[in-house]
Each structure stands twice: as structure tokens, then as C-alpha cells.
Chain A
């Protein structure tokens, strides 16, 4: 089987793509219209009223996580370098079990809308909320910029629109979802998108495998025949073990600190549903990455690497080109529309978590000290969503033409260093204090940003220096332990008797749950008072 010079219509306006995309936007706006009528309280706006089932939330979590970048990027990496793409897939998945074991249930039981609820539970609200919001907004900003710039480039290439038009369309539709439909609409947009993406990728993989009597191994063997046995062996991706471990730590524990992922655990009614939703999400995402691996090999065998790099040097067009080769222009249109829809859904989730940090953490708890009436909270939440959406459009246009791929890695590094240590310590260590939490979160955020700025990615690749001051591309191996250490030491030197005496209450609520597992709309301001346990217990970790 010789790779032929693929004839591609990529880059020209594709009628099918536009029809499919309009159908998706139409359907999701109809969902938003339906959701808007149900979104009257902050609980509905931020947490879909707690009425999402475990399976639905599993799809929504998978939808939040399966970005266009991972679909197109991993398929492209596999197409161009074979095995190495699998290393990425594995890295992006292994954070999920950690989320299940350590985070999901306690988070659901202790929090309300944001992970800051958990960290601030027994600590002083103002300083903890401010530093948690700093971490959240930094992660959201970098993740959002990466998505918006990716959207602009991708859509220009697939639909033939201008970059600015693409960013504007993504931004406006996303604002509509979040502003009017809140978490109810965002959740359903994620579910629809996850089903389309999984279905599209599966159909494409089946069409490829049909040419190899449905045997992935026959496909891989054909790649060996064309490109030599190296395609099945590790290549240049992991050359420095320290670098690999550092990236691995950031991916593994960053997932457990991503604000838009953590926020999803408040949409389910109880800890049991939170637990099962991550199980479904892990299965869906793992399956998706395995399918993507097959697509990458399919593209390299059926299209040829030269044809793929001819359209896009980074290989990002491998999956869409493959769709055109095996399914014709209509199928290319379908896959393009799904990729567009994917970006829309991910930015909606990000914007909502940023709006929650601004409105719930900063406005309600810091500015108004927890005394903000329901209608005011909702108004601030909507204003925050609108502001963030406009900011996302402006940032997307401002960063036009920049290489922002490192920003997703940065977002994970900050999430792993700023959010995860404070979250884990607040749930498991009696001696954790307000100052410790603030120090840990601020250290994690600033050290991760600083070290990435000093890393080869920014210094050499972006600024063109000969050498970087900090040798690693990902700072996780330094910043994550540093954040734990700072949180621990500062807590030891600044004991807080109130925080430790309230740990028994935290422990009770964390394991037993709130008084009622069912969602309550009755008490919007502060979390319902947990059942007090009078005997202080000793620490467990």
C-alpha cells in the first residue's frame, strides 16, 4: 500500500462542515434556552442544582478534558513519530485515578461551588479565598489563551474563515452558553460534544481498521513496513528522565487541581455519584486516547507523513485529512465541525470556573463577607462570565500567531503546584493553617510561572536565547514538592488553634457528607452547618 499524495480540500470553506457546525450550535443554543429557564439560583448557575447523574457527569468530565488539542495533537504526534504519541496519551490519563482516590468524594462532601470552599472550610476565608482565586484565574487564563489561539488557527485551516472571525465566533457562542445557561447548559454542551467526539473518532477508526481486516496490529505492522521498526519504539520525546518525571508529575497531579474539572464534582448529588462519574470519565478518556493512537497510525500509513506535514508542519491536520481520505468531504466536514464544537465546549467550562472564582470566592466571600443576597450573587456571576468571555476573545486576538502550546503545560504545572497541595493538605492534615494554605498556593503559582519563564520553552524557543536559566521544560518536580514543603513549614511555625479544633468537623463532613445528600436550594450563602462532633480526634496522616 503506497501512500498517495492526498488531495485535500482543507483550508477551503466546506459546506458540510458549516452545516454540521450550525446544527451543533443550534442544538446547544436550544439546550441553553431550556437551561436558562431553569437557572434562577447560584446553585443552578454554578452546580446545575446538583442534579446531574454520575454517568452524565462522567461524559461531561470527559468532555471537559478531551480538547481539540489532545484529539488533533496526539493523532498528529502519532502520525509523525509513532509510539511517542502513546507516552502523551498515558500521561494525560493517569491523573484521573488520583482524582478518584484522593479528591472526588471529599471535595463533593466539603465544597459547594469551588475548591476554595474546601481549603477555606476551617481557615480564615478572606486570605485563603484570595490566594485560591489567584491560582484558579492563572490556570484558567493560560488554558483559555491556549484554547482560543488553537481555535483561531484550527478553524482558519478547516473552515477557511479568518483567524479573528473564528475567535469571535467561539467567544460569542461560549458567552451565550455560560451567561444564560450556566452549569446546566455547559454540562449538556459537554455531553453532546463528548458523544460526538467519541462517536466521530470511533467511526473514523473503524473505517481505517476495515482496510486492515479490523486488526490494529496489522495496521501497526504496515507502519513498520513503511517507516521501519522505529515507529513502534520510543523516539526523541523522552530523552531526559528528569524531564519526563517532571512532566509526569504535573500531568498526574495537575488533573486533580484543574478548577474546571474540580467544579464538576459539585454538579452531582452525592459522593457516590462523584466517585462513579470519575470511573466513567476514566474509561471514556482512556478509550478515546487508544482510538486516537489508531487514527495516528492510520494517517501515517494511508496518507504518508509527507502529505501530513505538507498541510501543517505540526501534524495537527492528520486526523481531519484521514477523515477526508477514508470518508470523503462530508466526513471531513463532520470531523471539522466536531473539532470546532470541542473548543467551544472546553472554553465554556473554563469560563464558568473562572466566573465562580470571581463571583463566589472573591465577591461573595471576600468583598461581601458571605452576606450577599442570592440575586446579587447571580448578577455578579453573569457579569463575571461576560467579562471573562470578552477577555478571552481579546486575548485570543492579542496572541495571534504566537506559539502558545506550552501554556497548557503551564496550566497543569500551576494546578499541580498551587491547587493540589493546598487541597490535599486541608483535607488530610489537622495542623494545616491559614498562613500555610496561603503560602502554599502563592508559592505554587509564582514558582511555576517563574520557572516556566526561565525554562528552555520560553527562553530558547520563544525569546531566542542560547541557553535557559532553568534547564527543565516543566517545573513540576521542583514546584510541587516546594509548595507542599512551604505549606507544611509555614503551618508549623504559625499554629492556628481554631483551624485544628475544627478539623474533627471537617473530617466528619468529608466522610459522612452533609446532613442531606440531596441538593438543597434553601441556604445559598454559606454551606449548611455540618453535624458537630464534640470530641476532637487525632490526626490521621
Chain B
């Protein structure tokens, strides 16, 4: 394989990783700042009780914490399968 195609291959690999990273970072930013802005602008809505002992605010807060873990998990699964395979191909 020539150097040129090798460089293009790396270019594509790098672009894909940054794209996945950017999308997931944006998802995290949106869920977190969405939560914070809801807290800032609509306190009564966040205080609304969905069930005895459970307000919308508590549910959403717990969901943001869970989403942080889920997004990280999505990235790890993607990277372990797709990205590492592509890297392995590239290294050969």
C-alpha cells in the first residue's frame, strides 16, 4: 500500500472518531444544560410530582446522571468494536 492511501485512511479514521466524539459531546451538553435551564426557568414544572415522592426534577436529574453513563457506554462499545477494528486494519 502506498503512503498516500495510508494517509487518507488515517484521515478518514481520525475524522470518524472526532465526529462520533463531537456528536456524543453535543448530546451530553444538551441533556445537561437542558436540565439546568429547566431548573433556572421553570421551577414549578420541575417541582411537579409525578408520583408520591417523585418530582419531575428528581426524575430528570437522575436521568442526566444515567445518560452520562449510557453515552459513555455507547462510545466504549462503538470504539471497542468499530474503531478498534478499523485501527487494527490500519496497523497491518
Chain A residues close to B by CB (< 8 Å): 83, 86-87, 89-91, 93-94, 96-98, 100-102, 105, 215-224, 229-230, 232-234, 238-241, 244-245, 248, 252, 272, 275-276, 278-279, 282-283, 286, 289-290, 428, 504, 507-508, 510-512, 533-535, 537-538, 540-541
Cα distance, A155 to B40, chains bound together (Å): 36
The answer to whether residues A100 and B76 also contact, given A90-B35, A241-B40, A541-B18 and a CB cut-off of 8 A, is yes
Contact partners of B4 in chain A: CB under 8 A: 535
Say whether, besides A221-B53, A272-B84, A93 and B39 are in contact (CB < 8 Å): no
Cβ-closest chain A residue relative to B11: A537
Rounded to whole Å, the gap between the CB of A266 and the closest CB of chain B is: 19
Q: Are B25 and A245 in contact (CB under 8 A)?
A: no
Chain B residue, CB-CB nearest to A216: B53
Is the pair A286, B66 in contact by a Cβ cutoff of 8 Å? yes
Whether B1 sits at the interface, judged by CB under 8 Å, is no
A sample of 18 inter-chain contacts (CB < 8 A) reads A98-B25, A98-B28, A100-B72, A217-B52, A218-B53, A220-B54, A233-B47, A234-B39, A238-B36, A272-B84, A275-B80, A278-B72, A279-B69, A279-B76, A507-B14, A511-B10, A535-B4, A538-B11
In-complex Cβ contact of B58 among A86, A96, A101, A428 (8 A): A86
Pick the contact of B32 from A229, A241, A248, A428 — CB < 8 Å? A248
- Tell me if B10 and A245 are in contact (CB < 8 A): no
Interface residues of B in 43-70 (CB under 8 A from A): 43-44, 46-47, 49, 51-55, 57-58, 61-62, 64-66, 68-69
Rounded to whole Å, the gap between the CB of A484 and the closest CB of chain B is: 15
A282 touches B10 (CB 8 A): no
Q: Is the CB of B61 within 8 A of A86?
A: yes
Question: Mask for B11-44, Cβ within 8 A of A = 1, else 0?
Answer: 1011101101110110011001101110111011
Contact surface of B with A, Cβ cutoff 8 Å = 3-4, 6-7, 10-11, 13-15, 17-18, 20-22, 24-25, 28-29, 32-33, 35-37, 39-41, 43-44, 46-47, 49, 51-55, 57-58, 61-62, 64-66, 68-69, 71-73, 75-76, 79-80, 84, 87, 90-91
Q: Is the CB of A94 within 8 A of B28?
A: yes
| Structural contact, B64 and A90, CB atoms closer than 8 A | yes
Bound CA–CA A249/B8 (angstroms): 35
| CB < 8 Å A-B pair total | 174
By a CB distance below 8 angstroms, the chain A residues around B80 are: 272, 275-276
Whole-angstrom distance between the alpha carbons of A279 and B75 in the complex?
9
Bound state CA distance, A215 and B73, in angstroms? 27
Decide: B14 and A83 in contact? CB cutoff 8 A: no
Q: Which residue of A lies closest to B4 (CB)?
A: A535
- Asked whether A238 lies within 8 Å of B40 as measured between CB atoms, the reply is yes
Is A87 a contact of B79 with CB atoms below 8 Å?
A: no
On whether A87 and B87 interact (CB within 8 A), knowing A94-B68, A100-B75, A100-B76, the answer reads no
**Chain A binding surface, main DSSP class:** helix
Tell whether, in the assembled complex, residue B28 and residue A233 are in contact, meaning their CB atoms are under 8 Å apart. no
Which residues of A lie under 8 Å from residue B13 when comparing CB positions?
Answer: 511
Out of B47, B64, B73, name the residue touching A94 (CB < 8 Å): B64
Residues of A within 8 A of B76 (CB): 100, 275-276, 279
**Are A97 and B25 touching (Cβ within 8 A)?**
yes
CB <8 Å contact, A535 and B7: yes
Q: Of all chain A residues, which has the CB nearest B90?
A: A512
Q: How far is the CA of A233 from the CA of B43 in the complex (A)?
A: 7
Supposing A511-B14, A512-B10 touch, asked if A89 and B61 sit within 8 A by C-beta, the answer is yes
Q: Is the CB of B47 within 8 A of A252?
A: no
Do residues B49 and A282 form an inter-chain contact, with CB atoms below 8 A? no
Which residues of A sit under 8 angstroms from B61, Cβ to Cβ?
Answer: 83, 86-87, 89-90
Query: Could you tell me the distance in whole angstroms from the C-beta of B56 to the nearest C-beta in chain A?
Result: 9
Known: A100-B76, A229-B55, A244-B36. 16 other contacts (CB 8 A): A83-B61, A90-B64, A93-B68, A97-B24, A97-B28, A101-B22, A215-B53, A217-B54, A224-B52, A232-B57, A232-B58, A233-B55, A279-B72, A286-B65, A286-B66, A535-B4
A164 to B49, CA, bound (A): 48
Q: How far is the CB of B54 from chain A (nearest CB, A)?
A: 5
* B35 partner residues in chain A, CB cutoff 8 A: 90
Closest to A504 in B: B7
Residues of B within 8 A of A94 (CB): 28, 32, 64, 68
